[in-house]
Structure 1
Amino acid sequence: MSTFARRAMARLLPAVLLILAGAAHARPVAAPGPGPGPDLGRLQRSLGGVQRALNRGVRSDRVLQELLDRANAARKVAETCIQETSKQARAVQQALDTLGPRTPGEARQVTRKRNLLVREKIDEEQRGATCRLLLLNSRQILATIRSTQQARLTRRLFARGPSVITLLAENWRRPIAWWPETAKFLNAHSGLDRLDPMDWGGFALAVFIAALLGALLRRYLRGRVARGPAAESFGARFSCALLATAARYGPALAAVAAAAGYLWLAIGDVEPVPLVAVLAYGLFVYLVLVASIRVFLAPCRPAVPYLPLSPELGRALARRLRVLVALLVVGLLMFATVLSQSLPRPALQLARAAYAVVLVLNVVWIVWLLGRLPYLAAHVLRRIVVTAVMLAALGAEWAGYRNLSVLMLRGLLGTGAALVAMLLVRRLLFDVLDGLDQGRHAWQQRLRAFLGLKGEETVPGLAWLRILVVIALWLGFIAAVLRIWTSSDAGFLALLGYLNASIPVGSAHVVPARLLLAAVMFALFLGASRWIRRRMAEHWLVGVRMERGAREALVTITGYVSLAVGLLVVLSVAGVNLTNLAIIAGALSVGIGFGLQNIVNNFVSGIILLFERPIKTGDWIVVGDVEGHVKRISVRSTIIQTFDWADVIVPNSDLISGKVTNWMLRDPWGRVRVPVGVAYGSDTALVKELLLEVAKAHPAVLPGGHVPAPIVLFLGFGDSALNFELRCFIRNVDRRIGVLSDLNFAVDAVFRAHDVEIPFPQRDLHVRDWQPPPGPG
């Protein structure tokens, strides 16, 4: 067995055995019940040990961080203990108030219970005092640790080493002193001697197979992206650019990844890491970052640029960023790995100074290239500030303040990278959310169909998700910036502490993390309520023998009930004490009496409309001077769509207390009246016969039976005509205007065919006193 095989087995076998053991011995574990309270004495002793360690002096940052973690744990336990003891003390006091004061001759059981409650109250108060003392001590220790960390950081940042002039002078005196040390180091730590010929054969085979698989992947991906992006959205163009770039760099990435993985298995356990493995890791990181730059700024064909910048600017930024990536990888390999041990210290520090010059100039170049973007062109002051900070970091490096220089460079570069990543993730997530509203892709269309959304209807609760996405991204950005600038997890842990901290607001306590979780659950409940209503209306209640109005009322009430249940759950998750809702209801009753009575009146009227169902969605109603179809009924108002397609919002109280005409209350039938006038001297019997024939010929007119049959009435003698009226019932009163128009057309046609004259008004003018105008003569 080769060296590689033995080492690979030694590295992989424990992990495999651990996974198998976990799968074999996995058992469902019962949830633990409420255990005893925290051991306050042990916590006090732990804090005492932390204090003694601080008094003796701590030299290691790792030990100081461990002391900080212990003090933080004690603080959290103390805060929880204070809340629990206060709650228990209030419960005991309520029980004592229920028993009332001691009275002569009371039962022995009552006296015994009162004494037990008094002792329990004293115990809880003593326990609470101990917890408060523990909290005070932990806060004092935390303040001491943080001040110690701050002092150490200040000393480290302003610790001065030799300047560039000193380094140049020293290296001038010994110009080639670094070469023997470097050659000796490379011979000792190259890692080439740790691979035997069989290992090299396995290495070549792994690289060849990976490159072959990468070529097959390239062929597959090129077929996927041959037609370009599937849509014009940001997400579709990004996906196309990602696949095209993966096809372009796939073989190289696969080969380098195989080489790095093979070396990790073969010599990854060697300390320090051999040079050949370091180079393989660095090359893989470089290729990944270069491919990422191509994805965003210069996508491989057939992908097209999708960011709001010109192709020339995109290519220029891509070139500068590739140089920056190369510099960062080289700097990481030279100054953060075993390679840094190959150079004498003066030569290494001089190399760092020269490296800083090239790095700062490249970053400044990128910053001013970004100024050519339209939305950044006006922010000249920001670019000047960033340039000044970069030059200050370079000056600190040359002056010997190398820790300060590293912090400034790492902070600026890391903050910029975190900001770009945050904006990119925000754009991609918003593109996905916009696609859900518009149904751009097939999976989004299927999801909209599952939710029962049609046309331009939006996904319920999506606005809340957008807000939560923005909040989560900014919180993540702040945490990343704190981690970058503080060089430890202290800032990130502090942010988590603030999110989980209990903030007193009056007599209540607010936890920001619980508020965010409650907002997420509220958005989910909105979507679930919408889905339940859609499923009930379109699937679950379709085959139920129930009136349409009753079905719609049931769907509406179910939606409001599910929202009410969801609101109660969300309030509970947010930490709102539901027992205080009675106080809130009392306050609302006062508000109702003064300014909310109209809202409550409309709400109650909406409930009555849903249960009594005097109007239903789709009914043709007349309310005052508003006439149209009922489009939607909610608990506060009803939307009526007029025949001009104008939506009129009518308060529900007007529908309950006012006069409402519903043409379709019990059935869809309705009567149509067609007034007709014929000339004097017409055959009235023929007119009646013709009108009845017109009514019977129309398919929408009911012939009779459960409704009166069509009838023709001779209403009277008019000034210019004999007045008739055709009255008939139609199947759907919603088509009343259209049927009336059809009947009028048919009456005109049949009267023309039978020479029945429809007169027009005539007037005879009698002039009593008229004198002709005088003649011209």
Structure 2
Amino acid sequence: MSAWAVRIAIGFAWIVLLFGVGASGVHAESAQFATDSLVLKHIHEALTHSTDPRQLRPWRAQVQDIIRQANACIQEETADLDNIDKGLKVVGPFVSGEPQSLTQLRDNLLQQQRRASGRQAACKVLYVGGNDILNSIHKKELALRTRYLFQRGADIFGQWQGLQALPVQVWTQERDFWLYREGEPVLQQSRFQGALGFALATYILAALLRQRSRRSWRHLYPLLAPIGLGLLAWSLGVFYPLIVLLVGVWTTFIVLTWAFKTLLRHLQGLPARAQREAVLLRVLWRPLRFVLTLASFIGLYELLDRQASRAVLDNVALLTVFHVLVAIALLWLLWRARRFTFFRRHVLSQLLLVSSILATVALDLLGYVNLADFLFFGISVTVVSLLLALILTWVVEDLSENEESDTGVIGDFLRRRLGFSPTEIIPWVTWIKALLFVAIWLGALIAALFGWGLSHSGLALVWHYFVQGYTIGGMHVEPFRWLIALALLILLFNINNWLQRQLSNRSRLFRHMDVGSRHSVLAIIRYLGFLLAFLIALSTAGVALHNLAIIAGALSVGIGFGLQNIVNNFVSGLILLLERPIRVGDWVKVGNTEGTVQRLSIRYTLILTFDRTEVFVPNSELISGQVTNWMYSNAVLRLMIPLQIDHDANIDKVREILEEVGRKHPEVLQEDDPRGLPPTALLLDVSPSALVFYLRVYISDCNRSFLTQTELRAMAVEALHRHGIRLAHPQQDVHLIAERAEAGAQRPYTTAPPS
């Protein structure tokens, strides 16, 4: 947008605003609008000229504040206009003869509508103009930063000459700041020497105690030296910047050593498969400690000597030396990492990283110091953050699962804290592990983005869009609300699963129900809980539930194309859960599959056959096909046990014996049980070799049919043998004709008899 376009838009907004509020006076809204428009005009004109990069940041803050106020104004005026429109609809159009009060109310509403429309138009102009200027600021920043990065200075020889050409007073000022106080060298002061000697003696003593001790925090013993140095220097009045620098860097070195050693000790206590972390950390901790200690030194140096050190720290020769030191540390780190199998597999990544480091050093030597500084910082922070994230990820994996427990140290900790039994399943371990993974890699990503130049304002802008959302194609998306909805959905799912376990374990609530009824009730509660959790999550994410009709219409199209079977099984599952023609524990036969129902889900039914194989039967087959349920109304089963008796046996005696056997078995229903008939022996067939009797009995539990048949057969055979009644065996009578046999015996052989 050009300067003339901005002026025309602001002038138009002034006209609308004045007509909206009336010519009687200028209110606070018009004064604020005038101030904001003048600010935008000034910034827009300044951007057309050469701009100092340090001015862009306050300008961006001012423009963002104006845009935020304009957006709030637009929303407020839009709400006021909606209320005014509702009032005008209630009042209605002008009618002759209406009361004067109604006419006055309509005129007031119309006047308020004009004022609100004027303010809304003015705020929209500010909002559009502010966004356009904000984009111009972003482009200006990008152009200035690009020009700064690709600006070439002196090469390595010129840098060295520049370092030598620094005025003598600069080095004198630096020397006086660090080594002199009130014209006296600090190194020659007895109090300073005494504090430093005390710190060195303390460090030597602590190092000796560390070697002899076996405590877990023995590596913190040397920390007494810098702490004692700082306290003693402060008490003696020699707490100079040199002491602060020494204490800070020394403390950083000791704390990093303790942290790495402690982590190594914990990693070595994990199972054998977790030693990858220990090996990696043992290989990389020294280069990492060097880089972090060097970073602490530079940071403290700049913090303590912010003014005087600029002439030295801004010198490109010293910056090149710092870059070379970081490059050596990174190359040292990568060289040691080659011992690890994980890195040997990624040769291309190693070559790319080494080439980037060497190319950055070459840029430093050629004079592109700004670009080299940007690349060095980005590469260093990215490598260190990714390595730390990788190590922490492996640690979380091994802590959440080990050889002794499926849930590992995290699950055992939750069991102890929450009061769960050692064998009880902890459903939150997986989600906790996932959240830890997200937090680790999100932190690594943020650190890497900071390394590549993401400023605090940029992160704040990303966070603003993450929380407030953005509009894509007319649809407003708020990632933060979706994240909260996802977390709430996970929490509600876990609560639903926990409630299912509690209800299934508290059998007293369902003691009047059988196993199948209890399973159906729990399944219905589970699916209702899932549906309720899904609806609550959608509502939290900002999805209007009345829009689900649109989603249902889209789903109907998908169902018509390829989801018929899935929906058929889903609906069939609901029918099975509600009508319950089969239940968990029933003995059923579906086609060629026969076994016991183990599980009823919304899509399939799990049947365990008598061969101990698990068959997943789609629910649609149970609804549309023929199903035999041996236990639908009751578990009573009729058994017909055949027995073949010899023809010479007494029929009445055999019947009496068999019926007595049926009456003695505890599983057989007797005469007083209305669920079946009493034991009866029936003669149903007479074969040439046997009298075929059938012992007909009814048993109360069909699941024991095979065992009951075995026991009844054994009892019947034993009773028959005891009474001298023989079981029949298959017989075959062979009749030989005598004449043919004699003729065959007298006939002479015409050929040699067979050998």
Same fold, TM exceeding 0.5?
A: yes
- Which residue of the other structure, out of 549, 572, 591, is the alignment partner of 1:624? 591
Change (3 A) 1:310 1:652: closer
Higher deviation after alignment, 629-638 or 579-588? 579-588
SS in 2 for 1:627: strand
Matched AA of 1:671: R
Matched AA of 2:128: L
- Which residue of the other structure, out of 126, 139, 145, is the alignment partner of 1:153? 145
Q: 1:413 deviation in Å?
A: 0.7
Change (3 A) 1:475 1:252: same
Q: Quote the Cα distance in structure 1 between the aligned partners of 2:98 and 2:609.
A: 76
Partner of 2:713: 744
Partner of 1:521: 488
Change (3 A) 1:170 1:496: closer
Matched AA of 2:451: I
Q: Quote the Cα distance in structure 2 between the aligned partners of 1:662 and 1:269.
A: 94
- 8 Å contact 1:294–1:318 — kept in the other structure? no
Q: 1:353 deviation in Å?
A: 3.8
SS in 1 for 2:639: strand
Matched AA of 1:383: Q
Partner of 2:220: 250
Q: How many residues align?
A: 704
- The yes-or-no answer on 1:386 pairing with 2:361 is no
Gaps of 5+ in 1: 1-37, 223-245
- The yes-or-no answer on 1:578 pairing with 2:548 is no
**Equivalences for residues 314-325 of structure 1 within 5 A:** 315-325=282-292
- Which residue of the other structure, out of 603, 624, 642, is the alignment partner of 2:609? 642
**Equivalences for residues 376-525 of structure 1 within 5 A:** 376-431=343-398, 438-441=406-409, 443-444=411-412, 447=415, 459=427, 462=430, 474-486=441-453, 488-500=455-467, 502-525=469-492
Q: 1:527 deviation in Å?
A: 1.1
Q: Quote the Cα distance in structure 2 between the aligned partners of 1:710 and 1:112.
A: 100
Higher deviation after alignment, 59-68 or 356-365? 59-68
Q: Quote the Cα distance in structure 1 between the aligned partners of 2:733 and 2:672.
A: 48
Q: 1:389 deviation in Å?
A: 2.5
- Which residue of the other structure, out of 127, 144, 169, is the alignment partner of 2:136? 144
SS in 2 for 1:486: coil
SS in 2 for 1:648: strand
- Which residue of the other structure, out of 695, 701, 722, is the alignment partner of 1:732? 701
Q: Quote the Cα distance in structure 2 between the aligned partners of 1:79 and 1:101.
A: 31
Q: Quote the Cα distance in structure 2 between the aligned partners of 1:172 and 1:90.
A: 73
Q: Quote the Cα distance in structure 2 between the aligned partners of 1:536 and 1:195.
A: 78
Q: 1:416 deviation in Å?
A: 0.9
- 8 Å contact 1:468–1:520 — kept in the other structure? no
Change (3 A) 1:755 1:452: farther
Q: Quote the Cα distance in structure 1 between the aligned partners of 2:126 and 2:172.
A: 60
- Which residue of the other structure, out of 690, 693, 698, is the alignment partner of 1:721? 690
**Equivalences for residues 93-492 of structure 1 within 5 A:** 126=118, 128-158=120-150, 163-166=155-158, 168-169=160-161, 184-188=176-180, 222=215, 246-253=216-223, 255=224, 258-259=227-228, 262=231, 274-294=241-261, 309=276, 315-333=282-300, 337-338=304-305, 341=308, 345=312, 350-431=317-398, 438-441=406-409, 443-444=411-412, 447=415, 459=427, 462=430, 474-486=441-453, 488-492=455-459
Change (3 A) 1:554 1:301: closer
Matched AA of 2:35: R
Change (3 A) 1:510 1:704: farther
Change (3 A) 1:89 1:382: farther
Partner of 2:524: 557
SS in 1 for 2:408: coil
Q: 1:631-684: CA deviations, max 9, x gaps?
A: 222344433222223333334444445443332234444333322222222344
Q: Quote the Cα distance in structure 2 between the aligned partners of 1:524 and 1:84.
A: 36
Partner of 1:761: 730
- The yes-or-no answer on 1:45 pairing with 2:15 is no
Q: 1:461 deviation in Å?
A: 10
Q: 1:382-418: CA deviations, max 9, x gaps?
A: 3333223322332343445444332221111101122
Q: 1:730 deviation in Å?
A: 3.2
SS in 1 for 2:713: helix
- RMSD, matched Cα: 5.3
Change (3 A) 1:461 1:55: farther
Change (3 A) 1:524 1:301: closer
Q: 1:164 deviation in Å?
A: 3.6
Q: Quote the Cα distance in structure 2 between the aligned partners of 1:94 and 1:752.
A: 102
- 8 Å contact 2:515–2:585 — kept in the other structure? no
Matched AA of 1:277: V
- 8 Å contact 1:92–1:120 — kept in the other structure? yes
Partner of 1:776: 751
Change (3 A) 1:111 1:556: farther
- 8 Å contact 1:260–1:277 — kept in the other structure? no
- 8 Å contact 2:467–2:478 — kept in the other structure? yes
- 8 Å contact 1:218–1:251 — kept in the other structure? no
Partner of 1:27: none
Gaps of 5+ in 2: 1-27
Matched AA of 2:132: Q
SS in 2 for 1:376: helix
SS in 2 for 1:628: strand
- 8 Å contact 1:248–1:300 — kept in the other structure? no
Higher deviation after alignment, 398-407 or 515-524? 398-407
Q: 1:600-645: CA deviations, max 9, x gaps?
A: 5544443343333333221222333332222222344433222223
Matched AA of 2:389: M
Q: Quote the Cα distance in structure 2 between the aligned partners of 1:110 and 1:333.
A: 75
Q: 1:294 deviation in Å?
A: 3.8
- Which residue of the other structure, out of 533, 542, 548, is the alignment partner of 1:566? 533
Q: 1:725-759: CA deviations, max 9, x gaps?
A: 22333343222223223333444455555554333
- 8 Å contact 1:333–1:339 — kept in the other structure? no
Higher deviation after alignment, 512-521 or 39-48? 39-48
Matched AA of 2:219: Y
Partner of 1:241: none
Q: 1:288 deviation in Å?
A: 2.6
- 8 Å contact 2:684–2:694 — kept in the other structure? yes
Q: Quote the Cα distance in structure 2 between the aligned partners of 1:581 and 1:604.
A: 19
Q: Quote the Cα distance in structure 2 between the aligned partners of 1:256 and 1:47.
A: 61
Q: 1:136 deviation in Å?
A: 1.2
Q: Quote the Cα distance in structure 2 between the aligned partners of 1:93 and 1:446.
A: 58
Q: Percent identity?
A: 28
SS in 1 for 2:611: coil
Q: Quote the Cα distance in structure 1 between the aligned partners of 2:105 and 2:155.
A: 79
Change (3 A) 1:600 1:143: closer
Higher deviation after alignment, 741-750 or 102-111? 102-111
Matched AA of 2:351: I
Change (3 A) 1:347 1:530: closer
- 8 Å contact 2:681–2:694 — kept in the other structure? yes
- 8 Å contact 2:291–2:326 — kept in the other structure? yes
Partner of 2:10: none
Q: Quote the Cα distance in structure 2 between the aligned partners of 1:765 and 1:86.
A: 113
Higher deviation after alignment, 574-583 or 646-655? 646-655
Change (3 A) 1:335 1:118: closer
Partner of 2:628: 661
Partner of 1:243: none
- 8 Å contact 1:51–1:141 — kept in the other structure? no
- 8 Å contact 1:672–1:728 — kept in the other structure? yes
Change (3 A) 1:130 1:549: farther
Partner of 1:227: none
